[in-house]
Structure 1
Amino acid sequence: MSPIPVLDRRGLWVAAASFAVWGLMPLYWHLLKAVPSMQIVFHRIVWSTVLVIGWLCWKQGLQWWRQAVAKPRVAWLLALSGTLIAFNWGLYIWAVNAGHVVETSLGYFINPLLNVVLGVLLLRERLTAAQWIAVSIAALGVLWLTFNYGSFPWIALALAASFGLYGLIRKVAAVDSIPGLGIESAYLFLPALAMLLWAETHGQGGFFGGWGLAMDALLVFGGALTALPLIGFAYAVRRIPYSVIGLMQYIAPTMQLLIGVLVFGEAFDNDRAIGFAFIWVGLAVFAIDGFLRSRKRAVPAAA
């Protein structure tokens, strides 16, 4: 077993910012409700690829590509992670614009617990006793939400599994965050571009004037909103324990849940409130434990 690591503060802040951006995403994708969900995904892929690879080539030429793919297993690992994140995006955007924001938040409530399990079982990470208590309380909340949701939450489970496996692959792939995203995007770029061109030439697209300039600008800017939190997530996931990433991910679904209920008027009954309360108690236990351990480390350093 590896020792319990000291948390990287910069990694923690970057992770928190990434999850906050993801938490606000339903508001952005709702603005694009008139655009078919899969075309939004293809635009995300195309414009994020242009942004990321353009920036990398401007800074490093093609050196970044050669260095990244020269490492063992990286090329096929990133092909797999790119496929997983594309599936996750497609399901998420469709669910948001089909009125299932609360269920997508449930998926991202389940996902952190899956990350904790993966971190402990596959990466041999260790949790303190207080962290185990925190995870157990949060797990009770997720189980309560799952079994009292009213129907089988297939959207939530598919989102949790796809993003959990994506994060695990980015954790074990020995590649920096931005080059890794560039390679993932490169695998997806030509298929996404081909599908967009097919839609435009067969009367099913509207990017060139059909949806209006404002909608076109939102689709293009969606590439930046896609790239930046993914870069931050990939940066953080290599610098702090995967189990910690798992618990921090509750930031995004909490914001999504609040948006679904308060902005879009989706149902939030007593059963969902109970599950939500369990999750936040677990998070409070985890946060207090981390604060106390950081103070204990600071005392010897000051002495």
Structure 2
Amino acid sequence: MPTLPTPAQETGKGVAFGLTAYILWGCFPLFFALFEGVPAFEVLIHRVIWSCLFLVGLVTLLGRWSPIRQALRAPRRLGRVLGCALLIALNWGLYIYAVETRQVFQASLGYFMTPLVNVALGMLVLREAMHRLQAVAVGLAGLAIVIQLVLLGELPWISLALALSFGTYGLLRKQVPLDGLSGLFVETLLLLPLGLLALAWLDQTGLSHFLDGTEISLLLVASGVITALPLLAFAGAARRLRLATLGFLMYINPSIQFFIALLVFREPLSPVQLGTFLLIWTGLALYSWSAWRSRPRVPAAGME
């Protein structure tokens, strides 16, 4: 008779899955930098189309059609899912644009800011109570934006747009009764008609890069696969780990992006930008400490 995995083994698997997901997401700039000469809009179209097609096979393989059929049978409930789809498409497109224009520092800052945006949205939209340390953390993030605006004379709009779009996506996603894999499939399915129409327009006008060469065509197809793989790893982590543990692992993604921007793409980092990163990191440290202190206590023998 096979032995059941122990809580420690399950936690170890969860950490491994979480590390895999966040490291893959963190390395995305290296992948999307390969699409030199292909507009971000076109890469986004292919990412939507091939993600959807890849997920069809994946959902079939895993036998996960039941929740998807239930969601599609209630079209009136798909409004929030469509909202999620449009927000995640905006987020994907902005991220690809940030990589192609070598503004990965801004992308990294945006994902560092996302937990703090979540806290602010929870307070403003859901009327959730904000702890004192969380309020200080959000205030530090706001101060960092003001400093960039005043001293650099520019608003870090990519960072703000990424953080707000992903934060709002998370807010809507909480209200959709679908797991990560099923939710992503329904979202890409709703975007598929728009993607196919846009692809037909690009082909008709001679602007399409698909089938121009084997390498670029394979990269465009692969963009769909790499969208789903870290999501699967994240789902494996979410089932085995506490939210607090996942929250700490989450910082791996923008940290890797930061060092890729610094060491690989050699993007310039001014003292003012570094100062704003330090403010955001301080805010995240306060936020993490607050989340750790307010975590639910469990008995020592309880499962992770």
Are residues 1:257 and 2:268 paired? no
Contact persistence 2:51–2:224 (CA under 8 A):
yes
Residue 43 of structure 2 aligns to which amino acid in structure 1? Answer: I
When normalised by structure 1's length, the TM-score is 0.78
* 1:80-99 paired onto structure 2 within 5 Å: 80-99=83-102
Q: 2: distance between equivalents of 1:215 and 1:37? A: 13
Q: Secondary structure at the match of 2:27?
A: helix
Equivalent pair of 1:135/1:282 in contact (CA under 8 Å): yes
Distance of 2:114 and 2:101 partners within structure 1: 21
Which ranges in structure 2 are unaligned for 5 or more consecutive residues?
1-9
Kindly indicate whether the alpha-carbon contact (under 8 Å) linking 2:64 and 2:182 is maintained by their aligned counterparts in 1: no
Deviates more, 1:131-140 or 1:51-60: 131-140
Contact 2:15 2:237 in 1 (8 A): yes
Shift of 1:76: 1.4
C-alpha distance in structure 2 between counterparts of 1:233 and 1:106, whole Å: 21
Q: Structure 1 residue 70: deviation in Å?
A: 5.0
Measure the CA separation in 1 of the matches of 2:208 and 2:19: 36
- Mapped pair 1:220 → 2:221: yes
SS in 2 for 1:172: coil
After superposition, the C-alpha distances for 1:259-279 in whole angstroms (9 at most, x for unaligned) are 222211211122222222333
Deviation digits for residues 9-36 of structure 1 (CA, Å, limit 9, x no counterpart): 6877755543332221111111111212
Aligned residues, how many? 292
Q: Is the 8 A contact 1:112 1:249 kept in 2?
A: no
Q: TM-score w.r.t. structure 2 length?
A: 0.78
Name the residue aligned to 1:278. 279
Question: Matches of 1:56 and 1:124 in 2, distance apart?
Answer: 36
Q: Report the aligned-residue RMSD.
A: 3.8
Give the secondary-structure state (helix, strand or coil) at the position aligned to 1:280: helix
Give the direction of change, closer, same or farther, for the CA distance of 1:281–1:154 in structure 2 (3 Å limit): closer
C-alpha distance after superposition, 1:30-63 (max 9, x if no partner): 1111212111001100110001122223443853
Structure 1 segment 92-131 matched on structure 2, within 5 A? 92-123=95-126
Is 1:206 the counterpart of 2:231 in the alignment?
no
Percent identity reads 36
Provide structure 1 residue ranges, at least 5 long, that are not aligned to the other structure.
1-7
Alpha-carbon shift at residue 154 of structure 1 (Å): 2.0
Q: Distance in 1 between matches of 2:264 and 2:174?
A: 34
